[in-house]
Amino acid sequence: MEPQPLRYGIIGTGMMGLEHQRNLAALPGAVVTALADPDAGSRSRAQGEIGGETARVTANYREILDPNLVDVIVIASPNMTHIDVAADAISSGLHVLIEKPLATTVADCKTLLAIEQQQGQVVAVGLEYRYMPPVATLIETVHGGKVGSPKMISITEHRFPFLVKVNNWNRFNENTGGTLVEKCCHFFDLMVLLAQAEPVSVMASGAMDVNHKDERYEGRTPDILDNAFVIVNFEGGIRASLDLCMFAEGSVDQEALSVVGDLGKAEAFLPSSKFRFGLRSGWHAGVEEQVVEDASIRHEGYHHGASYVEHVRFAEAIRSGSRPEIGLEDGLRSVAIGVAAQRSIEEGRVVEMIEVLN
């Protein structure tokens, strides 16, 4: 017997809300029954994709926190709203998937974690970069011991500027948590996952050098970084680096990840989906390269199918009553590293993680 479909409500129907909606349309056993967004244009576009009057559509998200209407809430509203929206959603007892970042501050992340610990449902964070096919292969390779003991982790993202969002909310640190929280929590989550160790300290250098400098919103100039270098030191001596540039549209691969251990090196590239692995003993002639694909992905979307896999795993956790693969502790840690990096740039010093987490 087929299980009852999971009914989803989406809060925030902008670009990422639509991305979730499209993934859920391709996911067996899922149906979107409610949409909420204060912006009429966003609501209209999302409702148009569903078609007809098959979903409850409202400006007030609290109206869809109803177990008679939905089983699951997906939060894709602007970052600065996460603390209030997620607190209400988690408190409702519904299963909740919160888009990254979990919140814009460590204090708010801790508040959400405390609320979640009083509940019994499945609550997860949308750090879906783990599920991009070549990245998933990289993680499997490292965790399988093929590179030996990891020593150095490197992540490069050379890409286009921040996209335009409703009311330009993503142009200001106070709304996003800062570029290294908003954009890079994905990468800090991957660093922790690959290192399998706790972060100890962070040092960073960055600025807003090219993008958004001529923009004005109600007389205010954007203050978000458009480039940075970040070094994260982990327990056990593992080091990780992030090289971020958001005015590098001329790149071939937008993202490149590498892990080097005492036995070898593994690399993943996007959007080419290439994966490379080589042992030190084989020198460069022994490097193997393949294009990694996942035939199970039914909707590729903006993130190379990662959001679809994310929803598959989240639904499996709900149906089995198990812990989510990416919990609020992961969301908290990824935000904390971003906050430490932002502080390092602002204060021009190494920031100890204990400063940020306590």
Class of domain 6-128+307-325: alpha beta
Centroid of chain to Cα 285: 35
177 C-beta neighbours (distance < 10 Å), count: 26
Domain with CATH 3.30.360.10 in the chain: 130-299+334-357
CB 336 within 8 A of CB 347: no
pLDDT at 315: 98
Size (the chain), residues: 358
- Looking at the chain, the whole-number percentage of residues with pLDDT higher than 90 is 95
pLDDT in tens, 230-260: 999 999 999 999 999 999 999 999 999 999 9
Domain with CATH 3.40.50.720 in the chain: 6-128+307-325
Q: Is the pLDDT of residue 52 over 70?
A: no
Triad 261, 267, 272: Cα angle to 5°: 175
User: Residue 54's pLDDT band (boundaries 50, 70, 90)?
Assistant: confident
pTM: 0.96
Name the CATH code of domain 130-299+334-357 (choices 1.10.260.40, 3.30.360.10, 2.40.50.140, 3.30.420.40): 3.30.360.10
Report the range of poorest mean pLDDT among 50-64, 296-310, 329-343: 50-64
128 C-beta neighbours (distance < 10 Å), count: 29
CB 39 within 8 A of CB 45: no
pLDDT at 284: 81
Q: Is the pLDDT of residue 229 over 80?
A: yes
How much is the average pLDDT of 177-201?
A: 98
Token code pair at residue 207: 């600025």
66 C-beta neighbours (distance < 10 Å), count: 14
Q: State how far the Cα of 103 lies from the Cα of 302, in Å rounded to an integer.
A: 22
pLDDT at 1: 58
